[in-house]
Amino acid sequence: MCRHIGYVGTPVPVGEVLTRGPHSLRTQAWAPREMRGGGTINADGFGVAWWGRDAASVTRYRNADPIWTDPAVDEVLPQLTAHAVLGSVRSATVGMPVERAACAPFLWETWAFSHNGVVPGWRSVLTAVLSDLDTAATRAGMTRRYETSHLLEAEALTDSAALWVLLRRLLDPEPPAGLAETPATALRLLVTGVLHHAPDARVNLLLGNGTALWATTCYHSLYALIGDEFAVLSSEPYDDDARWQQLPDRSLVCAEPGELSVETLDLGRSTATESLPI
Ligand code: GLN
């Protein structure tokens, strides 16, 4: 169980998103309320990514030490202002390395990504998902290939880093286009593909590009706080604002300032999914 948070909206100090409220992400690291198996505290590092006004680039800070031990959270990160922030605290799954490279957020281009959960047997499961994607791409007449060797690009030997390899490949708009036309389709394809091979997988994903947030709920908790000028998705509410909404399990969520869309995450709902052999 890791915990993560995403913010988009009016400018905020980066550090403040990690520490705001009586039940901030930093507090959730050592006193999470919604533990659903898989650890008791999130002491295996943390990370935060942030974007400026035009979301043209993303910057990141990570540390493999517990978030409550890093003075940068109070002394440096509050000095930086951002229009969007994505943060995470990590509880490493048993058997996975505790190192900086394994701490979310993972970055590619202007995207940032975090995973709360576990994919049991991730090496064989994600190899099988890549192979399904490749079959679907071939059937759809695409020359773009999803090859198992792409898993070697994972930044760390963890399920989360490997999931990011697959997701960023689905997000890549470079011609010939991939299977997913939108970030939501990419998330749906990935989660449904993973669940097909590992029905007990826990895949709460959080994705941001500096202007919007996308997320899935699959086993772990997620809440949304939406105002006219901001949107927050968070594993747990950081305060007692009455506007927090708990998101149902097995949902695909998109949040922007003033807007929240929640769809059911099931197979066969999107046209791209229909072409998958799963
Ligand atoms: N399995 C992932 C890791 O070890 C995420 C763990 C979690 O959600 N606790 O990094």
Q: What is the pTM of this model?
A: 0.94
The residues annotated with a catalytic role in the active site are: 2
Tens-level pLDDT at each residue, the chain (278 residues)? 699 999 999 999 999 999 999 999 999 999 999 977 767 899 999 999 999 889 999 999 999 999 999 999 999 999 999 999 999 999 999 999 999 999 999 999 999 999 999 999 999 999 999 999 999 888 888 877 888 999 999 999 999 999 999 999 999 877 556 688 899 999 999 999 999 999 999 999 999 999 999 999 999 999 999 999 999 999 999 999 999 999 999 999 999 999 999 999 975 444 333 333 33
Q: Which among 42, 88, 113, 115 is the best mutation to test ligand 1's pocket, defined by most ligand atoms within 8 Å of the CB?
A: 115
Question: Which residue's CA lies nearest to atom 10 of ligand 1?
Answer: 92
Q: Which among 98, 158, 205, 219 is the best mutation to test ligand 1's pocket, defined by most ligand atoms within 8 Å of the CB?
A: 158
**What residue ranges line ligand 1, CB within 6 angstroms?**
1-2, 38-39, 90-93, 96, 102, 115-118, 158-160
Q: Which atom of ligand 1 is nearest to the CA of 102?
A: 10
Q: What is the model's pLDDT at position 141?
A: 83
DSSP for the chain, please give it: --EEEEEEEEEEEHHHHHH-STT-HHHHHHS-S---SS-S---S-EEEEEE-TT---EEEEEESS-GGG-THHHHTGGG-EEEEEEEEE--PPTTS--SGGGSSPEEETTEEEEEEEE-TTHHHHHHHHHHHHHHHHHHTT------GGGGGG-SSSSHHHHHHHHHHHHH--PSSP-S-SSHHHHHHHHHHHHHHH-TT-EEEEEEE-SS-EEEEESSS--EEEEETTEEEEESS-SS--TT-EEPPSSEEEEEETTEEEEEE--TT-SHHHHTS--
Q: What is the model's pLDDT at position 146?
A: 87
Å from CA of 146 to ligand 1 middle: 24
Question: Which residue's CA lies nearest to atom 9 of ligand 1?
Answer: 1
Q: Which atom of ligand 1 is nearest to the CA of 104?
A: 10
Q: Which among 89, 113, 159, 163 is the best mutation to test ligand 1's pocket, defined by most ligand atoms within 8 Å of the CB?
A: 159
Å from CA of 101 to ligand 1 middle: 13
